[in-house]
Amino acid sequence: MKKTVTRLADGRELLYYDRRDDIVRDAVDRRPLGAVATAAEIRHDPLLGDSVAIASHRQGRTYHPPADECPLCPSRDGRLSEIPDSDYDVVVFENRFPSLSGGTGRCEVVCFTPDHDTSFAGLTDEQAALVLDAWTDRTAELAALPQVEQVFCFENRGAEIGVTLGHPHGQIYAYPFVTPRTALMQRSVADHLAATGRNLFDDTVARELADPVRVVLEGEHWVAFVPYAAHWPYEVHLYPRRRVPDLLALDDAARTEFPQLYLELLRRFDRIFGPDAPPTPYIAAWHQAPFGDGRRAQRDQFALHLELFTIRRTSGKLKFLAGSESGMSVFINDVPPEAAAQRLREIASSR
């Protein structure tokens, strides 16, 4: 992998990640951009103990532009975009409309491919491996920033999820705090360790493998299963068999196998609701251990994993977070996890 670092016209950082070492990236952003003006702040909720990012400037972000005005396509035929070059493999750049900025963290956009009309599931193994390399590199660099405590790589896919740009892309949030979901996991892990002397993540994966009714896909280095208490209609957790705290700690064997299993999972997601259904909307979220001084014990107990889920519960119907979910954080799932796992097994690729 070759990384080339440059700047956009307004000073934001942009990074090209290329599979070939002989690629030269010297295109200049010629757009007349003004300085980025952000108003992001973090407010603490004293009752719930969590934090909320207030980012009013995001009201003006780009919203469902036509394909020929996509800001994530390469700059071609006189049309200038966020990517100055006429082609790319993978690109990462600072979000012009960040939810977090400056002392409140950092937000980046990850463009998986220059092909506007494909999806992550349409990538080759080599392309997906390069995305994994980019996620890993960004995790390392962002974790080194003094204000950052947690790095979150994720993809929102589909208008139903709230995506405003159709080009295949994801995002990376570098939080200045430990997110509530991660903090809850850490408390559960600590309680389990105190009660049993064992690691909760290890026990969870072992339980699924011992009775594989919810196991969807297995490799030599990864295992994917629908969790026992799945919150979403179709939800899969992908774990490396060797517990590691973050993407940086994956060994070469796990990194090599990851694209095969992950791409197969995404392709199965697109087949859940039948051949005539539109592409399945989903969120794919990497859970990594927080960074920072004094977290060694917690990091040693944490397990890197990816959670993939869709808000579509059946053809043409979405799972809405209504009163119980939104008001009380108590999920009600219409699809039994065992049935979801069975469906995801039976639609395996034939190739």
Catalytic residues: 169
Neighbouring-strand partners of residue 337: none
Q: Name the residue type at position 166.
A: G
